[in-house]
Amino acid sequence: MTNPDTDVAAGRPVVLRGGTVLTMDDAHTVLTDADVLVDGDRIAAVGPRLEVPEGTVEIDATGGIVMPGMIDTHRHMWQTAMRAYGADWTLTQYFVWNYLEHGRKFRPEDIGAGNLVSAWESLEAGVTTTVDWSHNLQTTDHAEAALDALRAVPGRFVLAYGNIQAAPWVWTADPAVRSFLAANPPGDMLGFQIAFDVTGDPAFPEKAAFEAARELGLPVTTHAGVWGATNDDGIRLMHENGFMTPQSIYVHAATLSADSYQRIAATGGTISVATESEQSAGQGYPPTWQVRRHDIAVALSMDTSVWWSGDLFSAMRTTLGADRAREHLEAHMKGETVTHHALRAEHVVDWATRGGARALGRDDLGRLEPGCKADVVLIKNDASPVSFPLVNPYGHVAFQAQRGDVHTVLVNGRVVKHEHRLVGADLGAVRRTAEATVDYLRSELGDEAWAAGMNPDLPTTEVLDNPYQYTEFKSESTHGARGSIFGEG
């Protein structure tokens, strides 16, 4: 086995040989036994038995799937510092944690600790671009810490600047925020967005924040259609005031009327569906089954690892499941049967790659075509029986593969994961910073509040009376002549 820290030298061309290649080009061309050549930060060629420059690093992709790097369009990376803490929450408990309790306690170094572990987690799972929906930047020191962590990891990121502890029209006007954003212009590896929600207040106080984003030349990303929080009024106010653009991202967009979907469709924005989130938290039903009727672009996202995973394989899987479950349910309520699924494995692979690229206005990402940026994932795990037979590559990615099967990852032409190991990651140091944040937050809150936050009260479930109490039968069947099903006696 090669040592990935030393043998995969930066600056050399890399060729992945003999894989099944999901190009995700306009025709969704799939090539078998094909190579992908990366030279510098670009895809140089895709095809069978490519001639390569001398000194090219060869990676054996036989038996594997080569696909574009995945793109997560909405993740609160800072919250990864408390990974899994909120596994049993609803949105109500999350809001208390985020706005009133733990969220307020986060220091700049805690934001940085969450971002650092989340950023490495992305690369490990083949997510080469992650939007950091960073809505706890209480000061620009917090923002600097968020940015430093993203810069310390060789992935592609978008810092979506936000601050839940202040009104968006207040913090976007803050001279410190303005000078932070001016000092950090968006670039290829690190983009910027402005992140805030629209309450639907008829006075539309968010107007000033939209104007600020426009002045800065940055797109707005917003949690829309969240049950009990944001609704059709917010969409209508954005539309009537001319702030819905093709660069706008509507996260969740679950509890909206047809009128809102039509406004989104007409202005060309993208809905970022976070199915794992919507299924657990209660924003509304994952909307993909509705939005295809409006021909709205879809991208995928994970939302937060304080609750669930940061793994786009899971996003693809749960999105297919939720969409199909709803189609079946709607049909059954009408006494009908679904005979053909509208949502296919190929569609969710497209959303995880090209959908994200489109949402971010990055035509050079999400595809494996010459000239595109070299963000590449090789799914291959020779030690796993799940890696074969490889019959349906889209189905394989969506329902069979998982992050442990991610063998190699390139970002901008650089190998950041090789032979299932991250390259150049000091995970010991990353772990220590995350654990220091956990220790700090736990001591700030006290053990009792910490435990209570993680273990919400369990509602009682009333077990219904059952008229079919075959007590005699049960008695006879378990102890009588026929004996137990477990072979007793």
In the bound state with Zn ion, the residue whose beta carbon lies nearer, of 135 and 417, is 135
For residue 229, give the DSSP letter. Answer: T
In the bound state with Zn ion, the residue whose beta carbon lies nearer, of 232 and 303, is 303
Q: How far apart are CA 169 and CA 206, in angstroms?
A: 6
In the bound state with Zn ion, the residue whose beta carbon lies nearer, of 192 and 394, is 192
- Binding residues with Zn ion: total (CB under 5 A): 1
How distant, in Å, are the alpha carbons of 74, 86, 428 from that of 224?
A: 13, 22, 38
In the bound state with Zn ion, the residue whose beta carbon lies nearer, of 95 and 169, is 95
Q: What is the residue type of 317?
A: R
CB 296 within 8 A of CB 225: no
In the bound state with Zn ion, the residue whose beta carbon lies nearer, of 39 and 303, is 303
In the bound state with Zn ion, the residue whose beta carbon lies nearer, of 66 and 158, is 158
Least distance from Zn ion to the Cβ atom of residue 168, Å = 15
Other CB atoms within 10 A of residue 415 CB = 24
Least distance from Zn ion to the Cβ atom of residue 74, Å = 6
Q: Which helix or strand (DSSP H or E) is residue 95 part of?
A: helix 91-95
Establish if 132 lies at the interface with Zn ion (CB under 5 A).
Answer: no
Q: How far apart are CA 234 and CA 448, in angstroms?
A: 38
Task: Please name which of 450, 430, 429 lies closest in space to residue 102, comparing C-alpha atoms.
Answer: 450
In the bound state with Zn ion, the residue whose beta carbon lies nearer, of 180 and 307, is 307
Q: What is the residue type of 204?
A: F
Q: Which residue has the tokens 């910073």?
A: 433
> How buried is 390 (Cβ within 10 angstroms: 0-12 exposed, 13-18 middle, 19+ buried)?
middle
Looking at the chain, how many residues does it have? 489
Rule CB under 5 A: which of 51-70 touch Zn ion?
A: none
Least distance from Zn ion to the Cβ atom of residue 303, Å = 5
In the bound state with Zn ion, the residue whose beta carbon lies nearer, of 16 and 71, is 71
Task: Give residue number: closest CB to Zn ion.
Answer: 303
Question: In the 3-class helix/strand/coil scheme, how is 233-267 assigned residue by residue?
Answer: HHHHHHHHCCCCCCCCEEEECCCCCHHHHHHHHHH
In the bound state with Zn ion, the residue whose beta carbon lies nearer, of 277 and 400, is 277
Q: How far apart are CA 252 and CA 385, in angstroms?
A: 36
Do the bridges between strand 14-22 and strand 190-195 make them parallel or antiparallel, or are there none, so unpaired?
Answer: unpaired
Contact string 290-309 vs Zn ion (x = CB under 5 A) = -------------x------
Least distance from Zn ion to the Cβ atom of residue 27, Å = 34
Least distance from Zn ion to the Cβ atom of residue 133, Å = 6
Least distance from Zn ion to the Cβ atom of residue 91, Å = 10
For residue 432, give the DSSP letter. Answer: H
Least distance from Zn ion to the Cβ atom of residue 277, Å = 7
CB 261 within 8 A of CB 228: no
Least distance from Zn ion to the Cβ atom of residue 172, Å = 19
CB 197 within 8 A of CB 229: yes
Q: Which residue has the tokens 């979907």?
A: 261
The 8 Å CB, 24+ separation contacts for 382-388 are 382/63, 387/63, 387/64, 388/63
Least distance from Zn ion to the Cβ atom of residue 301, Å = 8
- Residues forming the site for Zn ion (CB under 5 A): 303
